[in-house]
Amino acid sequence: MIRKDPIPDGDLFTAAEKIETTILPDDRAAAKRVAGIIADTIRTNKAQNRQTVLGLATGHTPIGVYRELIRMHKEEGLDFSSVITFNLDEYYPMPPDSIQSYWRWMHENFFNHVNVPAANINIPDGTLPLSKIAEYCRQYEAKIEACGGIDIQLLGIGRTGHIGFNEPGSGRDSRTRLITLDRVTRMDAASDFFGEANVPRQAITMGVGTILAAKRIIMMAFGEGKAPIVRRAVEGPVTDAVAASFLQEHPNAELVVDIAAAGCLTRVATPWLLGEIEWTDEAMHRAVIWLSLETKKSILKLDHDDYDSYHLSSLVRAHHSVDCLNRKVFDRLWNSIAYPDDLPKDKRILCFSPHPDDDVISMGGTLTRLAVIGNEVHVAYMTNGNIAVFDDDARSVVGLWADMNDAFGFKSPAVHAFVRKVNGFLATKAPGAVDIPEVQDIKALIRRTEAISACRSMHIPPEHAHFLDLPFYKTGEVRKRPIGPEDIAIVLKLLREVKPHWIFVAGELSDPHGTHRLCAEAIFAALRQLAKDERPEVVWLYRGAWQEWEPDVIDMAVPLSKTELTDKIFAIFKHESQKDKALFPGPFDDREFWQRAQARNTETAALYNALGLPEYHAMEAFVRYEEPLEA
């Protein structure tokens, strides 16, 4: 979500929020705030010779907090020697050394870097026999109570509204127990386990009642994907269908979110329904588009009664007339439509694609048009995407390679030894296991070959396909390292070689630790190292396979004909390893990527048509990045 106008505050605008909610610009600001609260509590308790008991969560959401606490420990001397921790949950069954284990995750991302005594660390045991779990859970509860209860409980929120693994149906008084995971939760975890089939069906989790017994609760959420469930938890009724809604009953619970995760809250989405707001150009644009869609009337047909009926009288008063207001918003949308003559010619264009198919899925039609009208178009594939290739695809490629060697007389002991090693590993590979380097390389070559084929379909020469293979991604696991200097240096080198006039960047900037966000971080860090005369003329943000920009923030909409959209779909088909069924389709959409792209592009065109703009078959949308690039 790109938000420029201020978010109103004060009792009038927060009245609908039944959990105290703090909205911050991004996940970094949120991490600093939450880590600061935890650090202050530790120091205050230590000064009073008291221990601090923390309830901890795992995953992408709290990792920034742990990194900030680690920094404070190393640079500011924050002492964890009097801290006792209790983790929320663990998959079951789950050995502690598994790459998906929360025990391992906590040690790699926090405990190995601070001085919490090992005896003070408590994480649910995923190795117990089923017959012993109930008693173990009772003992876990008793241990928390014996420590005097949890001082601060850290939470994320799942897309089902779960806290811990308290799925829909979990009661307010539920306690630590073994629970069956909701399918949405399992689908959301599929990427960590290299496929949904490998995700455990059960987990040990603290109960809702256990969580609510904490003295203070801080729940965090980041990114557009969490916005709908955040609204249900904060503004909806208390219900066991959304376990997080029980926090409304806690006297000291706080939600800390970035702007994107707050996007569906009333004071962010439609603050004019709550009271008088400052009518910036951005707020005006958003409100008029909202009114047009609510009334199902095109913008130029909106009248005084429409504005009065939907609490927008003050907006009309801020302008000369309804017609003037309507025309101002309509013209801005009209000017966002990029006809062929509006696009650059004889320029160097560089699209950064986090994975080897984000370019064609998100903006294949625009890239094709830019290439056809005479621009020098380049695509930089930032990661090799190898973890998203099915094992059977690797087997097929290895089999074809072996057969071709035999058929054309290139037989050698080395070939057969290699094939035996790869096939032997894949035949005995445990679910969710990391591939051996040879298999990782085979899968990377599959993605590379597909990307080059898609480039040819978009009229982009193969020599303009750049495979950066950034080091942060090369762990063999779904969980990636933070962006480092070596990643930035690779991007910087390419920028200086290509010298692009326009660049395109995947715009999921609010996703705190996804690959798209990390790639964007590397790009912007590299841009800041360029001299002013080296920087591109324009930086455009595009969206991936799951979401599109809201109409009020779109700066450029490129219309596509039915033929152009069909050509784009055929280019997406070149990514055969992602065809029919992707390894990581996401939790809420079973459609193939080409179907999502087709629907998204036609829906954007239909939205423009509903607002009264010219009717096109499809559109790809972009936002101009205007943040300062000074170091």
Distances (CA, A) of 102 to 56, 138, 344, 392: 11, 20, 50, 29
- Residues pairing with 55 in the sheet: 86, 153
Burial 4-15 (b: 16+ CB within 10 A, else e): ebeebeeeebbe
Q: Which two tokens stand for residue 259?
A: 């702007």
Q: How far apart are CA 588 and CA 276, in angstroms?
A: 36
Q: How far apart are CA 20 and CA 256, in angstroms?
A: 9
DSSP assignment of 485-534:
HHHHHHHHHHHHHH--SEEEEE--TT-SSSHHHHHHHHHHHHHHHS-GGG
| Residue 29: partners with Cβ closer than 8 Å, 6 or more residues away | 258
Closest CA to 434 of 97, 181, 60, 203: 97
Q: How many CB atoms lie within 10 A of CB 266?
A: 18
Q: How many helices (H) and strands (E) does the chain have?
A: 21, 17
How would you classify residue 290: left for phi > 0, otherwise alpha for psi between -120 and 50, otherwise beta?
Answer: alpha
Coil, strand or helix: which one is 152?
strand
**What number of residues does the chain have?**
631
Q: Which two tokens stand for residue 78?
A: 């924050």
Q: Which two tokens stand for residue 606?
A: 């239909």
Q: How far apart are CA 593 and CA 545, in angstroms?
A: 7
CB 315 within 8 A of CB 465: no
Q: Known catalytic residue: 108?
A: no
Choice among 17, 68, 90, 167 that is catalytic: 167
Q: Which two tokens stand for residue 483?
A: 């962006």
| Residue 164: partners with Cβ closer than 8 Å, 6 or more residues away | 57, 88, 89, 155, 205, 206, 207, 211, 243
Q: Which two tokens stand for residue 203?
A: 């987990």
Instruction: Evaluate the omega torsion of the peptide bond into residue 471 and state whether it is cis, within 30 degrees of 0.
Output: no
DSSP assignment of 66-133:
HHHHHHHHHHH----TTEEEEESEEEES--TTSTT-HHHHHHHHTGGGS---GGGEE---TTS-GGGH
CB 437 within 8 A of CB 352: no
Q: What strand order describes the sheet that includes 376-381?
A: 465-467, 376-381, 348-353, 502-506, 538-542, 618-624, 556-560
| Residue 447: partners with Cβ closer than 8 Å, 6 or more residues away | 355, 356, 357, 384, 385, 386, 388, 389, 575, 577
Q: How many CB atoms lie within 10 A of CB 139?
A: 12
Q: Could you list the active site residues?
A: 167
